[in-house]
Structure 1
């Protein structure tokens, strides 16, 4: 951006300077030529009275003095063929002067000026003044150098001012970009400089307002989650007391385990709301979490006559996911099997290491599979009367862990859910 602004300023400055300097340079050269020709004309006019009088005793020293005084060669051609002053050839222009016609022309090495003197003693005479090129261009080179130097100074000054302006704009834009990146990474305390030039200051103020609004919304969300969690804990405590009061110990233990699972989910929601924007490293052992959650769901599978086949790799298998999030993810996938397949439907769970680190979790049921055109990962969309959040939670957890969620319906099976979880990065 800075280079483009400099180019945008340099182009018109150069065009203006070229449009000003080139005609001025031509004019300076023309003025120098006119000055030299004018001086030669004055010199010839000063000799005209002496040439017209024809007194050679006066004319000879006068012509010699004029020739020696100036850089121009001065010659006088008399009617009898005598040449006074600097030696010079009888050129066509001199012949015209002897015939009574004054003229001038460019010659080799300079300019030849001839002035006719009519009525001189002995016939017409001609005064020839040869102005060399050095006189025609005297001072032109110096003037051109001054003009070029002035053009360079003006160009450098314009570029310097443009650079200062561009630097302020670029610095303000870079600041906006850095603040936007910090906000995107979760640092909601980052603020842009509202004193940035022109419209960038307006954008900075709007960005600061947006950051403040996001921080306020997150604060309200955390407070709402905390309030909800507090409200849920009371009935959960009551359920745990009821479970402990049951006469059947196994039934009480099963209900208590369910209450503990809900309690963990509520605690995980609170922790997730609190660490939003914290940027802390998250890691969990997929082998331990998957094994624990499979055992939890195995009890319900036995009650509903479902055969469970597990192939679980030995741990540890660290993945870039918080333990609570991974538990919720596995529960969502396994719960989807129980929610959308009839009792007695078998399912398989496989856990294996992932190439490059991390883990792969595959859950395959033997139900009806995906209906045509269905997308169960769409948030809030469900064809089974549920909230439509289960597989969407699994998808978001996988993506946040650097992986992905893949759904398919292989032949001979129902729905195949494959979760890719990347390894944690320090």
Structure 2
């Protein structure tokens, strides 16, 4: 009987009548091409934003195995359930989360939420403009570049990503963009920004620096998808890149806090009742908030028009400082250690390009603080003890990494986040 009640709660009236099932809109897969062909989905995006046709689940056209797993998990070609749609404000997109903890969740984004995000971005940046797509468009950060173009009434330009992200291809795409009639914008993840900056520093190459020069000509460069090392941010701004850091996620239709400041209509709450240092779990609210998750009507992350992110943060004056995921907290020797501050100390060192800190099982400490470090020069990594000493001085002895492993690059997932699962397996061994 309990199982039956739970099933009825989940399906609502959908299971009550065949007529209800016939009336419900269905979820349809939207295969998204890579690179320069990505704008081919614009007509489908325009229709779904206008409430015409099914809700769309973007999947990577060139990743059939991952696409099949996502479509099966989220019920493609099945009706949207009660609470997952609204005739007055139809669900336009269902964005699959990266699924780092298992089966991906489907984020239900209404047409109004997507438009609110795009319009708030344009207001923050100074008005609608022309957009350059440099990221995969089946993720929220990439597809929002296309949606902003639709809202602005401009035609987006896409980077040729055959063979991966390349500075020369970025420069070529930037040259194809209009140079008049409005500002020019793009959006990147930190890894892409680092490659453009490194290309500008390459000596003895007549083509070096074209990508960075093109980047400096943009009126704004949104940077998100993963935490940005402060040293990388300083380096970009010193080079003349007009960087705007963003914080948000699929559940907020993309970035909703720019340069630490909530966008118009966005509210931020920090549950700081127990930390003692003003930090706590971040909750967000605003017109760009998703209506929930596909097949998860009782998800506790969405409550009373708020989304509990699971990220830790604190207020730094008028700005929001994001410290990392609450579930990434390392408990070592009975002391709670946040990875974010350690990563910032490590990347402040001139010889470190990137760093990812996590906890690995340890028989003595419960968890040991471990750091994967990408040196600026892979053939000349800095002494590990110097890095430990810097962390010990600035973040305390408990935060000093007991294990430091040097890598040529960090494994990534999704739009550019470090793959902590893969790193934990590697560092734990």
TM-score bracket, normalised by the shorter chain, equals under 0.3
Greater RCO, 1 or 2 (C-alpha within 8 Å, sep 6+) = 2
TM value normalised by structure 1: 0.23
Decide which structure has the larger Cα Rg and report it.
1
TM value normalised by structure 2: 0.23
**More strand as a share of residues:** 2
